[in-house]
Structure 1
């Protein structure tokens, strides 16, 4: 009886507070879809070409707007060499051997094969700026740039993304002592080395700067796309990325479709769902001959889903809490995985293959976001690569968006 009485009392108090808030204000909850910054990971390959993500606005922007974002992600992969046999006989032989034993079945010095090598270590810090230009009632154009710098991730600038915190988390909470062999190579190092199968070479050291390129997106918000039922709202995007780093000078092109469903709880709160599908033609136009091969899959697909809860506080500040799941198809063709011959470096026996294996798998990650808006929208996010597929172990970011 006491429990029923207590629950009834809590419900009565909550109902009256909510009712009085709605009754005492003439403000009607209005927000242009889901608030979301760029949630693209600082993937060691992904920073060199364009990638697509969801646009979960319900209508075109009415005013010129500017968004500025900073991101920080810790990347790690042990050094490894990979051989790709050229003749079918060697490929068939490799297919019949477990991947971790193939290196003992072949002599790499005499093997007829293409090869590539890679090693990732450090904290990639990204800086993005994007402007939104209204074109018409239901059209807008986004123009942005992306840049990066490689850091060794020492405190205090990388409280959550530095090596010390990540290894402390593994040891004390989940994973155990040095589960990926990072300590064998030393903490707080910075270096990315990659030689592709065409013998083009990339090498980044601490403090090296990368100008990723320019990204443009055109969005069309059709009116009455699904008639009068108003089940959900939809927009279509076309995308062109101009990659301008010394390692990849090329043009990418993509298409996307985004659907958003809004559930208005009352005048002060709402719940939103969003789904995005996109496809990118990577390197549609090469602007120089010796671009690095960042994966031999020319077409990259992505799926993104997001949920968000928003409410208006007494100070008429909009607070939004979101959870985003992003998935991208593999950078390398999956059938190659059956016959590649990985060669370990001899130092670590832990996770020595993951830097290569996940180039042949779809990658995904979760992002938790919080935004608050008055005249300016500020968003903070925390991102986790739960499947350890070459995205950062932990990535954090902050962005601000405001009208001009």
Structure 2
């Protein structure tokens, strides 16, 4: 609890300082530059241990040094599931075609040769991201970032919309029905992530425990090719260093993105962005006992973003963005054809999603509102409609300003 209070108080102090200074001449002007989007990468319980990439939809390189601070909160849930991966070809062929939820009745993990892993997730993952953008040339910039995460039980008031009680209230009264994921069966407002990988290495964390941290370096180049047509491109190279005791490694990646601007009049415009990237996770292992957070070495993602912006009489930009993000699966999909999933005795509703969807593409929708004057402030809400191992609900707030 003391860690949650510390983060909460620090952010309130930061907001108070920033907004108290917003009308002071000492704050350098901050100009809206492309789609106003904070980091919307989900607090996926496996994904936070690697350097997943946030797409860049700026129109040009920053002219001055900028600081961005993001706080995020995502509710993760999945009852205990043990998964067997049969080693023998004959066992695999015998399970193909059997519905995934019935395979446990046709396989004996004690006598048949197989690898296995086990996972259960419960709680609200809190994330802090700090990015410093440094111009290094007219069309180039360097972004140095820090990310850190911890697990909490999500109790009010530290998690207003992402706590278990609010989510189950929404399910029961608006959409989903009564306890569609068995949260109430196992108890609300608890926090634990327990994972044993196929090599027998373990992760066990509880409420208030620090999860992982990392340092990220991003280089962006903005070529002036079709700027006269209001089409803006950028290309990026990325290096991420994961500093968790569970995965100490370095990831490398490449990205490309484009933005098209449609002017409605001198105070209203629409921006459409499309971005893609690829990441080689664990390109370099910095320790020999890293946990296995996915059998796919390469992770790719695609993101589309549409934003409407109007400039008010007070010379403030108000932006409303809708974003769709899709990422390739963390595990190789072919295993899902013959894997054996063992249900927890107390789980009945959607019990296999947290494990089985590690083999499915990852996607979610995000709505972002941003107002920009001397400071750019964003708030967002994110929903995983396909229940594919992302937070059931994630929210975030971000401030960005020149220094």
Same structural fold, with TM-score higher than 0.5 when normalized by the shorter chain: yes
Query: Which structure 1 residue ranges, 5 or more long, are not aligned?
Result: 1-29
Offset, 1:222: 0.8
Offset, 1:87: 1.1
Q: Provide the aligned C-alpha RMSD in A.
A: 1.1
Tell me the distance in 1 between the aligned counterparts of 2:235 and 2:354: 34
Q: Do 1:43 and 1:391's aligned partners in 2 also have CA atoms closer than 8 Å?
A: yes
Q: Do 1:78 and 1:351's aligned partners in 2 also have CA atoms closer than 8 Å?
A: no
Question: Equivalent residues in 2 for 1:328-367 (5 A)?
Answer: 328-367=327-366
**1:149-178 Cα shifts (integer Å, max 9, x gaps):** 111011112111000000011111111110
Q: Do 2:152 and 2:208's aligned partners in 1 also have CA atoms closer than 8 Å?
A: yes
**1:121-140 Cα shifts (integer Å, max 9, x gaps):** 00001011000000000000
Tell me the distance in 2 between the aligned counterparts of 1:288 and 1:136: 36
Offset, 1:210: 2.6
Match of 1:211 in 2: 212
Offset, 1:345: 1.4
Offset, 1:291: 0.4
Question: Equivalent residues in 2 for 1:1-400 (5 A)?
Answer: 31-224=32-225, 226=226, 230=229, 232-400=231-399
TM-score (norm 1): 0.91
Q: Do 1:152 and 1:190's aligned partners in 2 also have CA atoms closer than 8 Å?
A: yes
Q: Do 1:80 and 1:353's aligned partners in 2 also have CA atoms closer than 8 Å?
A: yes
Q: Report SS of the residue matched to 1:32.
A: coil
Offset, 1:231: 5.5
Q: Do 1:77 and 1:119's aligned partners in 2 also have CA atoms closer than 8 Å?
A: yes
**1:64-108 Cα shifts (integer Å, max 9, x gaps):** 000001000000001010000111111111113221111111111
Offset, 1:264: 1.5
**1:334-381 Cα shifts (integer Å, max 9, x gaps):** 011111011111111111111111100001000100111111111000
Q: Do 2:205 and 2:211's aligned partners in 1 also have CA atoms closer than 8 Å?
A: no
> Of the two, which has the highest radius of gyration?
1
Q: Do 2:48 and 2:212's aligned partners in 1 also have CA atoms closer than 8 Å?
A: no
Offset, 1:53: 2.2
Q: Do 2:32 and 2:372's aligned partners in 1 also have CA atoms closer than 8 Å?
A: no
Q: Do 2:49 and 2:247's aligned partners in 1 also have CA atoms closer than 8 Å?
A: yes
Relative to structure 1, is the Cα distance of residues 266 and 31 closer, same or farther in structure 2, using a 3 angstrom cutoff? farther
Tell me the distance in 2 between the aligned counterparts of 1:100 and 1:324: 33
Aligned length: 373
Query: Which structure 2 residue ranges, 5 or more long, are not aligned?
Result: 1-30
Q: Do 1:280 and 1:299's aligned partners in 2 also have CA atoms closer than 8 Å?
A: yes
**1:192-248 Cα shifts (integer Å, max 9, x gaps):** 001111111011100001332001110000122x4x762621110111100000100
Q: Report SS of the residue matched to 2:229.
A: coil
Offset, 1:270: 1.1
Q: Do 1:323 and 1:369's aligned partners in 2 also have CA atoms closer than 8 Å?
A: yes
Q: Do 1:126 and 1:146's aligned partners in 2 also have CA atoms closer than 8 Å?
A: yes
Bigger mean CA deviation after superposition, 67-76 or 266-275 = 266-275
Tell me the distance in 1 between the aligned counterparts of 2:49 and 2:131: 18
Q: Report SS of the residue matched to 1:357.
A: helix
Tell me the distance in 2 between the aligned counterparts of 1:358 and 1:106: 21
Tell me the distance in 1 between the aligned counterparts of 2:122 and 2:229: 48
Deviating 4+ runs (over 4 angstroms): none
Tell me the distance in 1 between the aligned counterparts of 2:329 and 2:36: 28
Relative to structure 1, is the Cα distance of residues 96 and 211 closer, same or farther in structure 2, using a 3 angstrom cutoff? closer
TM-score (norm 2): 0.91
Q: Report SS of the residue matched to 1:290.
A: coil
Tell me the distance in 2 between the aligned counterparts of 1:253 and 1:153: 33
Offset, 1:35: 0.8
Tell me the distance in 1 between the aligned counterparts of 2:203 and 2:145: 25
